[in-house]
Amino acid sequence: MAASRRTKVRLWRWRRNPLRRRSDAIEAWIVLAGWVFALLAALLAGLGAADAVERAADRERAENRAVSAVLAEDAEEKVLARAVSDHRVWATVRWAAPDGSTRTDEARVPPSARAGSAVTVWTDKSGNLTSEPLTDGEARLHAAFGGVLAAGGASVAVWGVAWGSRLYLNRCRMQQWAAEWARVGTRWGRKTG
Task: Check: pTM over 0.95? Answer yes or no.
Answer: no
pLDDT at residue 153 tops 90: yes
Q: What is the pLDDT of residues 119-144, one digit of tens each?
A: 888 988 888 888 888 899 999 999 99
pLDDT at residue 184 tops 70: yes
pLDDT at residue 18 tops 80: no
Q: Return the closest-CA partner of residue 91 out of 64, 117, 67, 66.
A: 117
Top-ranked range on mean pLDDT: pick from 9-23, 41-55, 167-181: 41-55
- 40-62 burial string, b = 16+ CB within 10 Å, else e? ebbeebbeebbeebbeebeebee
Give the DSSP H/E element, type plus range, for residue 62.
helix 22-63
Q: Give how far Cα 11 sits from Cα of 26, 164, 169, 179, Å.
A: 13, 21, 18, 27
**Residue ranges of the domains in the chain?**
22-58+138-187, 65-132
